[in-house]
Amino acid sequence: MTSLTVASTTDLSDVAPPTVADVEAAASRLKGVARVTPLLESTLLNERLGGRLIVKAEVLQRSGSFKFRGAFNRLSLIPAADRGKGVVAYSSGNHAQGVAYAARLLGIKAWIIMPSDAPRIKMENTRAYGAEVVPYDRYKESREAIGDKLTRDKGATLVRPFDDPGVISGQGTVGLEVAEQMRALGAEAAAVVAPCSGGGLIAGIALALEARSPGTKPYAAEPAGFEDLKHSLAAGRRMENAPGARSFCDALLSAWPGEITFQVHKRLLGGSFAVTDAEVQNAMATAFEYFKIVVEPGGACGLAAVLTGQLPVKGRTVVAVCSGGNVDPGTFSAALSAG
């Protein structure tokens, strides 16, 4: 894509990525708070694919997505003296709900900057958890600029959706669980694939797998038109998506990989796959049919990468993380009809 540009730099270039020790510490904080989500498997789908496909059902996590893990871990790291000043976050929905729910549990005030076109269910849930929603136009305004100003005005702590070591560490507990659960099954996955926007989830998973299941290769999956990580890995530097792209995968529309996360991506990932909206709809329908779970568009991208054959499963074992299930009924119904 010749229209891609090099991503603008931020003040995070000197921030070191977390280590597996940070992920393990996050697991201790999350014990008894976050759910240990199950691995799901379908004999009929495995027969169809000619291999073993296992789904990590983060749709069953508190707040409906993996984002709760990173949010609770990051908020737990805020010094007690600063908690009374509140937190600010920006998100299209899942990080918003994760931060709002974690803030509620920890007794912290939360302001969440959300695009005005975010799915209604995500907006409503964020407010229901007690956060104050600050809407913005994702195509005309900068959520980062709004977040910086609000943080200064309130004296609050900014909790970024992916470019934060505390957030990445929390998300990495998904990888720790996968490694442990696969050992309990007496199996090792050849690959784990997870949906990717800024890349906090797959970065954390990659760190965990490097230490706990080094024979398992991590991969990312992105919406077509937003495959900035795929192009960044090829270029060896962070690349920004061309403007004007659209996808119904509302949770995965970041313009570029994170600065901290990409340090992990380029070292550990096996690659990234791009999937179309139609392929994602088919994955949503497949998850409902074979695994009996509701998966939102962004949450189904990893599964779509397997079902399209981009990440082959024939003759081996692959884990696909279904990362979230916060989807409006109309969007889900349309996916079932199309799939």
Query: How high is the pLDDT of residue 2?
Result: 32
Q: Which of 338, 335, 331, 308 is nearest to 320 (CA)?
A: 308
pLDDT at 7: 43
Per-residue model confidence (pLDDT) at position 138: 87
Token code pair at residue 255: 């313009």
**Counting Cβ atoms within 10 Å, is residue 69 exposed (0-12), middle (13-18) or buried (19+)?**
buried
| pTM, rounded to two decimals | 0.94
Provide the pairing of β-strand 5-6 with 239-240: antiparallel
CATH: 3.40.50.2300, 1.20.1250.20, 1.10.1040.10, 3.40.50.1100. Which one for 5-65+167-338?
Answer: 3.40.50.1100
Give the CA distances from residue 321 to residues 76, 121, 137, in Å, rounded to whole numbers and listed in that order. 25, 22, 30
Return the pLDDT at 252.
Answer: 94
Any idea where the domains of the chain sit in the sequence?
5-65+167-338, 67-163
Nearest to 95 by CA among 240, 280, 252: 252
CATH 3.40.50.1100 fits 67-163, yes or no: yes
Residue 147's contacts (CB-CB under 8 Å, 6 or more residues apart) are 88, 89, 90, 113, 158
d(CA 76, CA 70): 10
Helical (H) or strand (E) element with 260:
helix 259-268
Tens of pLDDT along the chain (339 residues) come to 334 444 444 567 789 999 999 999 999 999 999 999 999 999 999 999 999 999 999 999 999 999 999 999 999 999 999 999 999 999 988 999 999 999 999 999 999 999 999 888 999 999 999 999 999 998 899 998 999 999 999 999 999 999 999 999 999 999 999 999 999 999 999 999 999 999 999 999 999 999 999 999 999 999 999 999 999 999 999 999 988 889 999 999 998 999 999 999 999 999 999 999 999 999 999 999 999 999 999 999 999 999 999 999 999 999 999 999 999 999 999 999 997
Q: What is the pLDDT of residue 9?
A: 45
Topology alike, domains 5-65+167-338 and 67-163: yes
pLDDT value for 11: 64
